Amino acid sequence: MKGVFFNREINLCDIDVVHWGLHSHGLIKVQTALERGTINFYYYTKAERLWLIQYFRNHFPEDQQQNWPLFCLKIALPLLKPKLDKPREAEPDDVLHTRRNWDRLTIIMTSITTLIGIFTAWGLQKPGYLFLPLLPLCMWGFRYTVPKEGIFVRSTSADKELIYLLWWTGAATMILFLLILLDPPREYRGFIAPTGMLIWSTPFFCFLIKSEREEKKKALVEAEQAVTEWDDEFKPD
């Protein structure tokens, strides 16, 4: 095992656990009864990485290997069969997103924040709120991240959770501004923002947790397919 400042030797016969790590360019973490070691793929060429993967995959029993399916999907198979960057193919629920869509969204958000800024500045007698429209205007530059020909994205109408989250965010924002405009007693003002964030963040984090679980479930299915594809290419002698 080689690193930047050291070289180590571990007897392969003593290895009890082989863990396939996803960090950086990929890792092989080995563990014996007395010590641990890491093979960092950053220090190896593509050919050397493929040889190491094939050797450890074929040399050690399945029950000694950890996290192989995800490693195969994220690291091993892309090394074996690099994927060319291709435009995302349209699905039934997809819509074409262009720079004009981004322009329209910026205009809408700027108009809304302008009204909110004017009424808030007038109600609280704080001119600083008039700068609120600068936020969506700063975001306008992201239109150039969209290719000129546009990209296909999932339709918002097909994502019920996202629609709910957008409505909830809008409602929570309006309630927060209404509370500010009501000018509550000074001793309660410090609780408005934390309470509003707590109420808003609860369904938001539930949404994130659900999305993460769905992504993990999808990744596991893809990982099993990747393992099958790898095994078809490299079979033990």
Residues 9-65: tens digit of each pLDDT: 777 788 889 999 988 889 999 988 888 888 889 888 999 999 999 999 988 988 999
**Token code pair at residue 128:** 């600083």
Same-domain status, 218 and 115: yes
Please indicate, yes or no, whether residues 72 and 102 belong to a single structural domain of this protein. Answer: no
40 plus 120 within the same structural domain: no
User: Minimum mean pLDDT among 31-35, 66-70, 89-93, 188-192: which range?
Assistant: 89-93
Count up the domains in the chain and report the number.
2
Is 59 domain-assigned? yes
Average pLDDT across the chain, whole number = 78
d(CA 94, CA 158) in angstroms, rounded, equals: 9
Residues 101 and 162 in one domain: yes
User: What's the confidence (pLDDT) of residue 121?
Assistant: 80
In a domain, 114, yes or no: yes
d(C-alpha 84, C-alpha 203), whole Å: 38
Tell me if 235 is assigned to some domain.
Answer: no
Is residue 116 domain-shared with residue 219, that is, in the same domain? yes
Listed residues 84, 112, 133: the one ending a domain: 84
Would 170 be classed as within a structural domain?
yes
Rounded (10°) angle between helices 160-181 and 186-233? 160
Both 44 and 71 in one domain: the answer is yes
Same domain, 128 and 157: yes
The answer to which of 70-84, 135-149, 185-199 has the lowest mean pLDDT is 185-199
- Looking at 38, 57, 84, the residue that finishes a domain is 84
For residues 111 and 220, membership in a common domain is answered with yes
pLDDT at residue number 92: 64
Domain boundary among 84, 105, 130: 84
**What percentage of the chain reaches a pLDDT higher than 70?**
76
Question: pLDDT tens digits for 176-214?
Answer: 767 766 677 777 767 766 776 777 677 777 777 877 788
pLDDT, average across residues 91-104: 75
> Using alpha carbons only, how large is the chain's radius of gyration in Å?
27
Strand spans (E) along the chain: 17-21, 27-31, 36-40, 65-66, 94-97, 151-154
In a domain, 54, yes or no: yes
Task: Examine the domain organization and report whether 106 and 80 are in the same domain.
Answer: no
Q: Domain check: are 165 and 189 in the same one?
A: yes
Q: Whole-model pTM above 0.85?
A: no
Whether 182 is covered by a domain: the verdict is yes
More confident residue, 24 or 90: 24
pLDDT for the residue numbered 211:
74
Query: Based on the domain organization, do 200 and 108 belong to the same domain?
Result: yes
Burial degree of 19 (CB within 10 A; 0-12, 13-18, 19+): middle
According to the model, what pLDDT value does residue 47 have? 92
Which residues form the domain of 100? Answer: 94-225
In a domain? residue 79: yes
In the prediction, which pLDDT does 5 show?
A: 41
- Same domain for 98 and 140, yes or no, is yes
Do 54 and 20 form a contact (C-beta atoms < 8 A)?
no
Within a domain: 6: no
Flag whether pLDDT at 4 surpasses 50: no
